[in-house]
Amino acid sequence: MSRFAIRSNLAALAFVVATGGLAAGAVMAAPTADGGPAAMQQRHHGGGGFHKAMRDGLMIPGLGPVTKAQVAELKLDEKQQALFKTAQDSQRSLHEARREAGGKRHDLLKAQLDSGKLDPRALIEASDKSRDAFGAQAKQVRDQWLAVWDSLNDTQRGQVTAMVKERQARMQERHAKMEARHGKGKAPAETAPAAN
């Protein structure tokens, strides 16, 4: 291959990497309304199941969501139900505030695109400000969910433990099926002897 062809290919590759990096940076800089990679993964696999569980269910920090039906199985008393409602309302308020902030970030991106002058630093700065602004509120919501957990009696905690074990088992089963489907664990292909 000639030097010119190699340079052309390298230049094209560099362009693809650079433009992909800009797009990935903009996507990564965007704040998520629900709080992170696990939530994003659920969105791709669960058809909104995570959001429905968050809207109607109980979120136990570190363990994940407990669905509305599972919460009903816990038979919460009046005090627990009051703590649950407080945490749920706070979660909704946080979600709405983050959604509005995300809309403002998208408006900033649209304004930049319309003007033809992209400024990734401004987008990152807006995302950082948004994340910083919601840090204290998110911690408060987390603490309210932990207060619900703290209010559970031993029987209820045992029920939650069983629910989480069942969920983990299903996840491991899906993971094993996915690995089998994508060919992980197959024996490496035999290599043919080199021709002389």
pLDDT < 70 positions in the chain: 1-55, 184-196
DSSP 95-155: HHHHHHHHHHHHHHHHHHHHHT---HHHHHHHHHHHHHHHHHHHHHHHHHHHHHHHH--HH
- pLDDT at residue 185, as a whole number: 55
CA-angle at 55, arms to 49 and 56, nearest 5°: 90
Kindly report, residue by residue over 140-185, the tens digit of the pLDDT: 999 999 999 999 999 999 999 999 999 999 999 999 999 998 876 5
pTM: 0.59
Q: Are 31 and 130 in contact (CB under 8 A)?
A: yes
- pLDDT at residue 40, as a whole number: 43
